[in-house]
């Protein structure tokens, strides 16, 4: 990646939770690849964020490698973008400490993800879970990213990152770029197939609620066929039809068809036909990702080469930021 051109800078990250969900894919990752030509892109597997909930070490290591292979399989080209593993660049954690001193307890307490996760993991409400959004702000601000492609659920964290950056700039003089969220029009919030009032999430207890991007074709179709809808029989997008709205959004995201075109396509047909069609379209769309992933995960040496090079670039960029920050806040130069 070139570091000195006029292109705007994009940063985004994803937690290594094994294989990604269709929500991760539609809301975030599939939008990452197409940005690579127009922007300088930096993408990270955020393993340091992942340890805010309990992890099995062997599983975390495996999930991190899988996640790295998966983002490449989803179209991230390590020659065009910087793709690395967060813990390989210690500058994120260092900057996070500095930024935590410009972050208020009250604002962290208002984060809905913290409230949700602390309710879910009531026996492990650790300080990392609480300060998680500061590390996320450091991820973004360490590169002075202009844009951050995310799903709707991360918007509150991004707003906090902007506030932290603004406060730092006020205290020490203009320095950090205020990052803008880059949220897709279609699929910013993919919902559970079993309870369309809830976000699709891998931690859902019901395996039918969530489609994983490495699920095989039959599994994907079966999950869609079991999706909760409503008692009408009309494929159309309107209030009160959360299940159908979600399926239409997913179908639209993977086929590029408009909601009106989808309604016309399924006029007079039952929900069964529609659900099967959505399942097939999703499975066919994901087929090349699965094939590419199998190839990549078998080549650990290539993955290592890519993430090592990615971490070197990431380190170089962020060390410059950090040195300037240290000078601004009054630390004595180390050399
Ligand atoms: P994470 O790992 O939970 O999710 C990764 C991305 O997927 C999006 N997403 C969804 N989009 C639509 N519908 C859904 N059901 C759905 N579920 C997840 C998320 O919005 C996200 O964009 N804190 C972040 C990771 C992170 C990060 C960053 C992101 C750490 N540092 C810096 C951007 C910039 C997270 O936990 O995402």
Residue 117 known to be catalytic = yes
Query: Cα–Cα distance between 33 and 72 in angstroms, integer?
Result: 9
Q: What is the pLDDT of residue 203?
A: 87
Residue 295 known to be catalytic = no
Read off the pLDDT of each residue in 224-236 and give the average, rounded to a whole number: 95
Please report, to the nearest 10 degrees, the dihedral formed by the alpha carbons of residues 197, 200, 201, 204 taken in order. 60
Probe residue for ligand 1, chosen from 11, 18, 24 as the CB with the greatest number of ligand atoms within 8 Å: 24
Query: Which member of 8, 80, 155, 202 is catalytic?
Result: 202
Q: Does any ligand 1 atom lie closer than 6 A to the CB of residue 199?
A: yes
Q: Does any ligand 1 atom lie closer than 6 A to the CB of residue 49?
A: yes
Query: Cα–Cα distance between 262 and 250 in angstroms, integer?
Result: 11
Token couple for 55 = 């992890």
The gap between the terminal CA atoms of the chain, to the nearest Å, is 28
pLDDT tens, residue by residue, 127-185: 999 999 999 999 999 999 999 999 999 999 999 999 999 999 999 999 999 999 999 99
Q: What is the pLDDT of residue 2?
A: 45
pLDDT tens, residue by residue, 38-69: 999 999 999 999 999 999 999 999 999 999 99
Residue nearest to atom 31 of ligand 1 (CA): 136
| Average pLDDT for the chain | 96
120 vs 304, higher pLDDT: 304
- Tell me how far the alpha carbon of residue 24 lies from the centroid of ligand 1, in angstroms: 7
Considering the entire predicted model, what is its pTM? Answer: 0.96
Residue 202 known to be catalytic = yes
CA distances from 186 to 104, 174, 252, 300 (A): 34, 35, 8, 34
Q: Does any ligand 1 atom lie closer than 6 A to the CB of residue 86?
A: no
- Tell me how far the alpha carbon of residue 327 lies from the centroid of ligand 1, in angstroms: 32
Q: Does any ligand 1 atom lie closer than 6 A to the CB of residue 153?
A: yes
Q: What is the pLDDT of residue 6?
A: 83
């Amino acid at each position: 990646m070139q570091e000195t051109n006029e292109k705007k800078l994009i940063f985004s990250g994803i937690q290594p939770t094994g294989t990604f969900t269709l929500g991760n894919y539609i809301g975030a990752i599939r939008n990452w690849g197409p940005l690579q030509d127009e922007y300088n892109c930096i993408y990270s597997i955020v393993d340091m964020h992942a340890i805010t909930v309990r992890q099995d070490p062997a599983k975390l290591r495996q999930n991190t490698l899988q996640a790295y292979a998966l983002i490449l399989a989803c179209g991230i080209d390590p020659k065009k973008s910087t793709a690395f593993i967060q813990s390989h660049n210690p500058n994120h954690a260092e900057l996070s400490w500095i930024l935590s001193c410009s972050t208020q307890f009250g604002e962290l307490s208002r984060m809905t993800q913290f409230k949700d996760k602390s309710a879910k993991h009531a026996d492990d409400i650790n300080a990392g879970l609480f300060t998680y959004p500061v590390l996320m702000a450091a991820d973004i601000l360490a590169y002075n990213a202009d844009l951050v492609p995310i799903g709707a659920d991360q918007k509150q964290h991004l707003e906090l990152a902007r506030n932290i950056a603004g406060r730092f700039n006020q205290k020490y003089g203009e320095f950090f770029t205020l990052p803008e969220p880059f949220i897709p029009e279609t699929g910013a919030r993919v919902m559970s197939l079993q309870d369309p009032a809830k976000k699709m999430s891998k931690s859902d207890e019901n395996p039918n609620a969530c489609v994983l991007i490495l699920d095989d074709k039959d599994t994907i179709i079966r999950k869609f066929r079991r999706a909760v809808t409503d008692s009408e029989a009309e494929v159309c997008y309107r209030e009160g039809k959360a299940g159908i709205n979600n399926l239409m959004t997913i179908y639209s995201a993977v086929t590029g068809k408009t909601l009106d075109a989808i309604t016309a396509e399924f006029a007079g047909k039952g929900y069964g036909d529609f659900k099967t069609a959505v399942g097939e379209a999703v499975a066919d769309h994901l087929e090349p990702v699965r094939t590419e992933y199998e190839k990549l995960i078998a080549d650990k040496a290539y993955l290592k080469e890519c993430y090592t090079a990615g971490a070197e670039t990431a380190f170089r960029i962020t060390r410059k930021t950090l040195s300037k920050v240290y000078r601004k806040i009054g630390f004595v130069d180390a050399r």
